Amino acid sequence: MENKQDEKYNGWGNYQTWKVALNIDNTETLYNESRRLIQSMQVRNGEDLKAWFKEVAFATYLGKDILYKVFDCWTTSELNEVDFDEIFTAFNSEIERGED
C-alpha cells in the first residue's frame, strides 16, 4: 500500500504543498508580496518562504484577514507537510523565466 504522503497532487509533491501554492497564487496580495520578496532576495529559499508564510498566517489571527480562507480549515500537522522548498523553486523559476 502506497503512503499518501508519497503521492503527487496536481504536479506538486503532495496535496498540502499544492494547496498552499494555489492559495498564494490565487490571492493577489500574497502573490504580489511573495514575488516581491523573492525578487528582492529577502526570501532566498524554502525556509525563508515558510517563515514569511507563517508570519502572514499569524497576522490572520491578529485580525488581519489575509489568509483566513487558507487557514480556517487547516491543522498544524497539515501545514507541516508543506514542501516550501518546492514552492520556492517553482515561484523562483517563474520569475527567472519572466512569467510573472
Q: Which helix (H) or strand (E) holds 98?
A: none
Q: pLDDT band at residue 27, thresholds of 50, 70 and 90? A: confident
pLDDT at 7: 73
Strand blocks (E) in 1-100: none
Tens of pLDDT, residue by residue over 54-71, are 887 666 555 555 554 555
- Burial classification of residue 28, based on how many CB atoms lie within 10 Å of its CB (0-12 exposed, 13-18 middle, 19 or more buried): exposed
Mean pLDDT of 12-27: 91
Lowest mean pLDDT among 12-16, 37-41, 54-58, 94-98: 54-58
